[in-house]
Structures are given as C-alpha cells and as structure tokens.
Amino acid sequence: MTAAPITPVHPAPGYLAVSGAEVVFLLLGLVVLGAAVLCVTSRSVVRSALWLVLSLGGLAGCYLVLTAELVAVVQVLIYAGAVVVLLLFGLMFTRAPIGRSADVDTPNRPVAAVVGVAAAGLLAWLLVDAFRLSYLELPAAPTGTAEAIGAAVFRHYVLPFEVISVLLLAALIGALVLSRPDISTAEHR
C-alpha cells in the first residue's frame, strides 16, 4: 500500500476557523451520535432498531462529506436497508415486546456504562494525542467514486473480493441450515 507524504503543504488552520464542511460534518455527527445513544438506551426494542437506521443513515451522510461516495451508497443500501431489516425480522421472529418493556437492560448496566466511557475516552485521548495537528484536505474531486473504487477492487483487491464472495455464500448456506426446523429443534435437549 503506497501512501502520500503526510507533511502538510501549509500549516493547518486553527480549530476556531471552522470551514463549511466542518459545520456540516458536525451537525451530521451530532445526528449520528444522538441516534446511536438513543438506540442503545431506548426501552422499546423496535425503537432501538429505528434509531439505528437514523444513525447509520447519518453516517452515510458523513461519508458523503468525506467524498467517499460509493461507501455512502453501499452503507445506505446494505446497512440501513438490509441489515436493519434483518434485525427487525429477527426481533419479530423472537417475539420481542413491541412497546416499552422494563427488562431491556441487564444488571451489568453500570459496569457497561463505565467501560463504554472508558473505551471512548481511551480512544479519543489516543487519537487526539496523535492527530491533534493533522488536517484533512478535502479534495475538490471526490475520491471515492464508483469508478475509482471499482478499479481499485478489481485491480488490486481481487483475491479478497473473491474470498468475500465465498464467505457470503458460506454465510448464506449456514443461515439456511441453522434455520431449518428439523435440525434446530434438537432431540437432545
């Protein structure tokens, strides 16, 4: 993997000089984060799924700001489209309570909160410490066009592409097998 030199062309502007892209990204980020927090603290499981959709959609917007178009589209298609639908189907099949329910969280909750804060804090602190002065020059032309990504995939990452296809096939077959009623309802309880 080749990398462009990281030396900045000109000194980075300060944090107080907020560019337009930064404002948009900030707003989208708030949406993403807010929806994620609501997703993980909601008492209703269905609402959790719906907040997740919002979060993932917002994230697609973030990708667009970062000029990664294909990733944004795929994010919407696959994540917000297929994955969340799968999750909703899963909730439906497992008779999840529709309205608010009391026992959505385990007693591990306070520990989880602490650990979550710790994880976020650690990562944030590391990243801030390392990339305080880094500046991302948003290119005028989007970098993540379908053409560019497709060329990259089929030229340089063909093997991983094929492997992932096989992985998808395996996952498909596995899911089918696991869902078969005569295998799942095991005689040896």
Partner 1 sequence: MHLLYPLTLSALLFGVGTYALLARRNAVLVLMGVELMLNAVNLDLVAFDVWLRDTLRSGQVFALFVITIAAAEVGVALAIVLAVFRLRATVAIDELTDLGEPDALAAERLTGVELAKGADVS
Partner 2 sequence: MTRTAWVLPLLPFVAALVGLGLAIRGPAARRVAAIVAALGTGSAAVLAIPLAAGAVRLAGPVQAAVEIAPTGGALTVSASTLVDPLAGIVALMVCWVALAVQLYSVEYLGTDARYPTFAAEVSLFTAAMLAVVLSGDLLALLIGWEVMGLCSYLLIGHYRELPEAPPAALKAFLVTRVGDVGFLLGVLLLGRHAHTFRITEVLAAVPSLSPGVLTAATLLIALGVAGKSAQFPLHTWLPDAMAGPTPISALIHAATMVAAGIYVVLRLHPAFAAAPTTLGVLAVVAAVTMVLGGLAALGQDDIKRVLAWSTVSQLAYMLGAAAVGAVTASAFHLLTHAAFKALLFLAAGAVLHGAGTGSMSRLGGLRHRMPVTFWVTVVGALALAGVPPASGAFSKESVLDGAYAAAHGEVPGVAPWTGWLVLAAGLLTVLLTAAYLTRLLLRTFLGVAREPAAAGAAHEPGRLMSWPVLALAVAAAGLGVLTGPLPRWLGGSLRLDAGLTVVSLLLVATGAGVTYLQWRADPAADPIRRLGPRLTAALAAGLYVDRAQQALVVRPVQAVARLASTADREVVDGAVRGTGRATVRLGRLLARAQLPDVQRYATGVVVGSILVAVAVVVTR
Q: What are φ and ψ of residue 66, in 5° steps? A: -80, 10
Q: Which of 27, 98, 100, 135 contacts partner 1 by CB under 8 A? A: 135
* Footprint on residues 80-109 left by partner 1 (CB under 8 A): 82-83, 86-87, 89-91, 93-96, 103-109
Instruction: List binders of partner 1 among 51-80 (CB under 8 A).
Output: 52, 55-56, 59, 62-63, 66-68, 70-71, 74-75, 78-79
175 interacts with, out of partner 2, partner 1, none, CB within 5 to 8 A per kind: partner 1
Member of 77, 92, 118, 177 binding partner 2 (CB under 8 A)? 118
| # chain residues binding partner 1, by CB under 8 A | 100
Q: Which range binds partner 2 by CB under 8 A, 38-46, 75-83, 85-93, 116-124?
A: 116-124
What Rg do the C-alpha atoms of the chain give, in angstroms?
21
Question: How many C-beta atoms lie closer than 10 Å to residue 142's C-beta?
Answer: 16
Of 32-40, 57-65, 118-126, 136-144, the segment contacting partner 2 by CB under 8 A is: 118-126
Q: Give the residue among 148, 135, 165, 129 at the shortest CA–CA distance from 69.
A: 148
Contacts of 63 (CB under 8 A, 6+ apart): 69, 71, 72, 75, 144
| Nearest residue to 56 (alpha-carbon basis) of 69, 73, 43 | 73
**185 scored as a contact of partner 2 (CB under 8 A):** no
From partner 1, partner 2, none, interface partner of 66 (C-beta below 5 to 8 A by class): partner 1
SS3 124: helix
From candidates 27, 98, 111, 158, binder to partner 1 by CB under 8 A: 111
Q: How far is CA 184 from CA 2, 137, 189, in A?
A: 48, 53, 11
Does position 119 interact with partner 2 (CB under 8 A)? The reply is yes
Q: Nearest distance from residue 116's CB to partner 1, in Å?
A: 3
DSSP letter at 139 equals -
Residue 24: C-alpha distances to residues 8, 21, 56, 153, 169 (Å) = 23, 5, 16, 30, 39
- In the complex, which residues of this chain contact partner 2 (CB under 8 A)? 106, 108, 111-112, 115, 118-119, 122, 126
